[in-house]
């Protein structure tokens, strides 16, 4: 391969970026004369967020000089910014591009020996730099991503030097192929497995590849309970506590879509409860649990501590933001319904290059007062750093410590006039609503009455189905046996039911994969046909079923043998 010319060298220090003053070292200055290069990168170059930038596998970022003509042509409104260094690169290189550079390539540049490790996946700071939400997505779509080097041998480099290919162990893996594979939801499993085995690949990219591979092989769903350890706990409000869970079985984290939940069970217990994953996975899964008297949540609050083990099933659920559209995103929640919204909000504002960036994000949340408002600081910080985010918090009963305009934006319950004020004018919006069932019903109706063109509405209810009438929602007092055998005819297994369990608990204990979300009779996703045997409900479900079906999350057996078509 022909040598490439090092046109320019750039370094930077963390500084405020964008209207919100986000700390970033994206903007870099040119360097005249020789620069020392070590395992950590170039002398004088630092990163603000070491969770996603820097480190030995991403020590030096190179970008093809020739791409800037294409950027000027596509985005002439940013003509004053386009030029060497404007993509945040350390090295501007002429003569090479992503189609001709392969992962693992060893490159001699002056006295320095570098090795190609991975493509770049742009974060939201690219959008902040140009004040243009289209750029992160376009960078990945176009393949004009650049690549990272690790430093095999340190030394000095200077502009004008020639970069020469020394070794190419992986000619089948040009950077462009890695980039395109990462943006393809239908990626081939064999190709992903082959890439994951490339020894020179950056470890953080390998982790993403393995997660995508696991999703393809399992359909995005784990089929059995796994052992997790509580790494830490944190109180988010006076009634909501977060539990950070990490695998304790030697396996990796399961792939999670923003909005999905996991089923959690205490070690040695047969009782289970579903909780939304409230944060993009970063070495752990975070669930945020509201304490309810007498339930599994109270047990967690009173008994679960760092170091304890829990059994985890999933993730699962279809209440997800997939990041496949740049349509306006609207997140409306009440109380603990904020938990899946946190993962969605993070995903929508932490673009990894394969997700679309919403043209706008409207975040609306209702709580009683500050003491009950979980994640207030986090959502405030996200809104401050992202001009596309509009955040509105309404308190129904502000406390003496609350200050209008600082802790909350308005007083009362979320209602139709508020939604009209915040949402009118949106076109093709994707609207996610989460909270109690009565809240879901009201907000869905009000949004529908606004007549927003092309709007799509997605809902998830938390807690008991309070939208039902008093008679329907009352306990039904079935008389189950002391023990029952529940048969899964389609899969050929069975499991024992005991008092305190629902039929959904039994199915999960028997390793039967079944779609479920609310676990309170609201969503209707666990509807299952009963082949033989009688069943009853402890509480009348809110969702309707067809004749012969029951909602497993609310049902108990009335006979000692019950056969299902699972």
Write out pLDDT tens, residues 41-56.
999 999 887 766 788 9
pLDDT at position 220 over 80? no
- What are 133's two structure tokens? 């939400």
- Spatial distance between the Cα atoms of 261 and 61, rounded to a whole number of angstroms: 36
Q: Are 285 and 295 in contact (CB under 8 A)?
A: no
Residue 99 has a pLDDT of 96
Q: What phi and psi, each to the nearest 5 degrees, are found at residue 303?
A: -120, -30
Residue 226 has a pLDDT of 87
CATH of domain 4-182: 2.40.33.20
Top CATH class, 329-461: alpha beta
Percent pLDDT > 90 in the chain is 59
For CA atoms 428, 429, 430, 431, the dihedral sign is: negative
Q: How many CA atoms lie within 13 A of 342 on its CB side?
A: 29
Kindly give the interhelix angle for 189-196 and 203-218, rounded to the nearest 10 degrees: 150
Q: What phi and psi, each to the nearest 5 degrees, are found at residue 363?
A: -115, 120
> Tens digits of per-residue pLDDT, 438-471?
899 899 999 999 999 999 999 887 654 433 333 3
SS3 per residue for 377-398: HHHHHHHHHCCCEEEEEEECCC
Question: 410 - beta bridge partners?
Answer: 394
The answer to whether the 226-316 and 329-461 domains have the same CATH topology is: no
What is this structure's pTM? 0.64
Percent pLDDT > 70 in the chain is 90
pLDDT at position 368 over 80? yes
Top CATH class, 226-316: mainly beta
Report the pLDDT averaged over residues 399-412. 97
Q: How much is the mean pLDDT over the chain?
A: 88
Task: Please say whether the structural domain 474-564 has been given the CATH code 3.10.20.30.
Answer: yes
Q: Sorting pLDDT into bands at 50, 70 and 90, what band is 185?
A: low
pLDDT at position 343 over 50? yes
Report the pLDDT averaged over residues 262-291. 85
> Tens digits of per-residue pLDDT, 526-558?
888 899 999 998 767 756 676 778 989 889 999
Query: Domain coordinates of the chain in residue numbers?
Result: 4-182, 226-316, 329-461, 474-564
């Amino acid at each position: 391969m022909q040598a490439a010319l090092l046109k320019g060298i750039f370094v930077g220090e963390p500084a405020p970026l964008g209207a919100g003053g986000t700390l970033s070292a994206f903007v870099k200055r040119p360097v005249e004369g020789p620069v020392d290069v070590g395992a950590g990168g170039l002398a004088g170059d630092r990163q603000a967020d070491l969770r996603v930038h820097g480190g030995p596998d991403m020590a030096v970022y190179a970008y093809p000089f020739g791409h800037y003509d294409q950027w000027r042509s596509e985005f002439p409104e940013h003509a004053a910014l386009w030029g060497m260094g404007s993509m945040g690169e350390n090295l501007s290189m002429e003569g090479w591009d992503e189609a001709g550079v392969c992962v693992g390539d060893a490159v001699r540049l002056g006295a320095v020996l570098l090795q190609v490790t991975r493509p770049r996946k742009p974060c939201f700071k690219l959008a902040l730099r140009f004040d243009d939400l289209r750029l992160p997505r376009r960078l990945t779509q176009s393949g004009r991503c650049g690549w990272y080097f690790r430093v095999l041998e340190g030394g000095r480099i200077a502009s004008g030097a020639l970069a020469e290919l020394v070794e190419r162990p992986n000619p089948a893996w040009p950077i462009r192929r890695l980039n395109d594979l990462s943006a393809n939801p239908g990626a081939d499993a064999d190709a992903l497995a082959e890439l994951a085995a490339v020894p020179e690949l950056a470890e953080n990219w390998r982790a993403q590849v393995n997660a995508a591979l696991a999703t393809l092989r399992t359909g995005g769903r784990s089929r059995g309970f796994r052992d997790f350890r509580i790494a830490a706990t944190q109180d988010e409000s006076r009634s909501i506590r977060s539990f950070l869970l990490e695998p304790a079985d030697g396996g990796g984290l399961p792939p999670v879509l923003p909005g999905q939940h996991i089923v959690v069970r205490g070690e040695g217990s047969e009782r289970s409860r579903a909780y939304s994953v409230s944060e993009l996975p970063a070495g752990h899964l975070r669930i945020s649990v509201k304490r309810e008297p007498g339930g599994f949540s109270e047990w967690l609050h009173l008994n679960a501590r760092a170091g304890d083990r829990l059994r985890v099933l999933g993730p699962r659920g279809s209440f997800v933001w997939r990041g496949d559209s740049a349509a306006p995103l609207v997140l409306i929640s009440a109380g603990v319904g904020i938990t899946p919204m946190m993962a969605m909000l993070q995903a929508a504002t932490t673009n990894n290059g394969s997700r679309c960036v919403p043209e706008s994000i409207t975040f609306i949340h209702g709580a009683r007062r500050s003491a009950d408002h979980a994640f207030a600081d986090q959502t405030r910080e996200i809104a401050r750093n992202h001009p596309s985010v509009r955040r509105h918090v309404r308190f129904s009963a502000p406390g003496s410590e609350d200050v209008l305009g600082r802790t909350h934006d308005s007083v009362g319950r979320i209602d139709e006039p508020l939604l009209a004020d915040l949402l009118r004018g949106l076109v093709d919006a994707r609207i996610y609503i989460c909270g109690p069932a009565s809240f879901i019903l009201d907000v869905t109706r009000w949004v529908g009455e606004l007549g927003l063109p092309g709007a799509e509405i997605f809902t998830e209810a938390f807690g008991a189905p309070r939208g039902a009438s008093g008679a329907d929602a009352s306990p039904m007092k079935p008389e189950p046996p002391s023990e029952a055998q529940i048969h899964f005819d389609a899969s050929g297994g069975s499991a024992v039911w005991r008092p305190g369990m629902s039929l959904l608990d039994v199915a999960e204990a028997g390793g039967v994969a079944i779609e479920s979300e609310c676990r309170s009779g609201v969503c209707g996703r666990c509807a299952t046909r009963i082949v033989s045997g009688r069943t009853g409900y402890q509480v009348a479900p809110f969702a309707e079923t067809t004749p012969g079906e029951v909602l497993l999350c609310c049902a108990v057996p009335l006979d000692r043998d019950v056969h299902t078509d699972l």
